[in-house]
Amino acid sequence: MGFFSNLFKRKVVNALGIDIGSSSIKIVQLKKKGDKAILETYGELSLGPYGGASVGQSVNLSTEKLVQAMNDLLTEKEVALTTRTCGLAIPFKASLLSVVETPEIEEEEMDNMVKMEARKYIPVPISEVTLDWSIIPRKDTERKPLIKGEESIKTVDILLVAIHNNIIDQYKEISERTSLDPKFFEIEVFASMRSVLEGIKGPIMILDMGASTTKLYIIDRGLVYNSHIINRGSQDITANIARTLNVSLEDAEIAKRSIGMNKTKDGIDLSESVSLVAGSIFSEANRFLFDFQKRNKQNIKSIFLIGGGSALKGFRNLAAENFKVEVISGNPFENVEVPAFLENILKETGPEFTVATGSALRCLQEI
Ligand SMILES: Nc1ncnc2c1ncn2[C@@H]1O[C@H](COP(=O)(O)OP(=O)(O)OP(=O)(O)O)[C@@H](O)[C@H]1O
Ligand SMILES: [Mg+2]
């Protein structure tokens, strides 16, 4: 009997994706059904209150506080997570990405070569980072032999990824102390690419607007070609609203989320407070985008908006007015089956869960 029941009873496979952002922790739980991923549950916990700040503000927490917050979210009854198997996203700022050109050699030798080359590109001692690399496929027309003396040497481009060991150690400690079972750590941009860019031809730009920073990535053929961090984010909009309306940050946060670029019946209009901050972020993003286009003689096809900041009402339209390129609201659940009753709410809050969903998707594939 045992034989048959094992044969016919499908094992439930589920996995978590976890994103420890600077303003909140996001968790998404997916279930595998055939080739499909189904959203089972998701949750978010604001970190501000753990560091004496309000909801929506970014804070720098000790490992101790992060463990406490993670445990609170993992045991939250309403979220009702049923697994601890997970993929953990690492903040982009804890990583270094560079594209390095090296002669084409055997894959086994490549590892040593990359480590040696890395010393030139990584501005911290190699012993302080964990290195990873992958070969960037070239379009055939791009094949450029390097002339060295008489012979021409074929070269390849390598994407070099370094993660600071101290963040890996910190994430391992958090996992151990919260009974999480991480299958991998990955830099957040790779998770975002997986959830919103499947099947998209580049080059495109991702604009991830968080609480204190806005991250920009230029992506083509599945690779990150360029990146930039703007030191302004959605909490600067909140601060601007608080000043203009002369209210607390807590009240400004509520107003920002509920009103956004709309106008209320009693005449509250936050559009100027929002536009002032968003406009300065968009113009810096525009400069970054133009610079890439000029240097690479390539046009960016579209801009994908992700991150909680882009969940603001009317944000996509505002961005579309500021960029000359098509602007798309990234939908991390594009390739995930979502229960009908969640569809509407996820249209609004979806962008915040881009990173967590991406890591959950990979974790599902790997278990
Ligand atoms: N519906 C909404 N309307 C407007 N702003 C929102 C909305 N939802 C969230 N935000 C804002 O988004 C910000 C948080 O975004 P997100 O969760 O992507 O940041 P984070 O991941 O913590 O930050 P980072 O990636 O920079 O570490 C907060 O400042 C919050 O106020
Ligand atoms: Mg984030």
- How many separate domains does the chain show? 2
Q: Which residues surround ligand 2, an ion (CB under 5 A)?
A: 21, 210
**pTM (predicted TM-score):** 0.91
Query: What are the Cα distances from residue 135, in Å, to 84, 110, 146?
Result: 33, 10, 17
DSSP state letter for 18: E
Statement to judge: residues 146 and 247 lie in one domain: no
Whether 269 maps to a domain, the answer reads yes
Whether 33 maps to a domain, the answer reads no
Residue owning the nearest CA to atom 9 of ligand 1: 308
Whether 100 maps to a domain, the answer reads yes
- Nearest ligand to the CA atom of 93: 1
Whether 153 maps to a domain, the answer reads yes
- pLDDT tens for the chain, residues 1 to 367: 445 555 555 566 999 999 999 999 999 999 998 889 999 999 999 999 999 999 999 999 999 999 999 999 999 999 999 999 999 999 999 998 888 888 888 878 888 888 888 888 888 888 899 988 888 777 654 555 555 555 667 788 888 889 999 999 999 999 999 999 999 999 999 999 999 998 888 899 999 999 999 999 999 888 888 899 999 999 999 999 999 999 999 999 999 999 999 999 988 999 999 999 999 999 999 999 999 999 999 999 999 999 999 999 999 999 999 999 999 999 999 889 999 988 888 888 889 999 999 999 999 999 8
CA of 351 to the centre of ligand 1 (A): 9
Whether 134 maps to a domain, the answer reads yes
Please enumerate in sequence order all residues whose Cβ is within 8 A of that of 15, keeping only pairs 6 or more positions apart, or say none.
Answer: 29, 30, 32, 83, 85, 86, 87, 183, 360, 363, 364, 367
- The verdict on the CB of residue 110 being under 6 Å from ligand 1 is no
**Look-up: residue for tokens 């703007």?**
230
Closest by alpha carbon to 130, among 155, 95, 178? 95
* Ligand 1 closest atom vs CA 214: 26
Where in 51-117 does DSSP place strands (E)?
85-90, 95-103
- Is it true that the peptide bond before 339 is cis, omega within 30 degrees of 0? no
CATH of the domain at 116: 3.30.1490.300
Q: 296 lies in which domain range?
A: 199-330
CATH of the domain at 254: 3.30.420.40
- Nearest ligand to the CA atom of 358: 2
Please enumerate in sequence order all residues whose Cβ is within 8 A of that of 40, keeping only pairs 6 or more positions apart, or say none.
Answer: 14, 29, 30, 31, 82
Please enumerate in sequence order all residues whose Cβ is within 8 A of that of 208, keeping only pairs 6 or more positions apart, or say none.
Answer: 188, 192, 214, 215, 216, 217, 306, 307, 354
Statement to judge: residues 313 and 233 lie in one domain: yes
Q: Which two tokens stand for residue 41?
A: 């549950």
- Nearest ligand to the CA atom of 213: 1
* Ligand 1 closest atom vs CA 57: 29
Closest by alpha carbon to 240, among 252, 230, 255? 252
Closest by alpha carbon to 331, among 360, 358, 362? 358
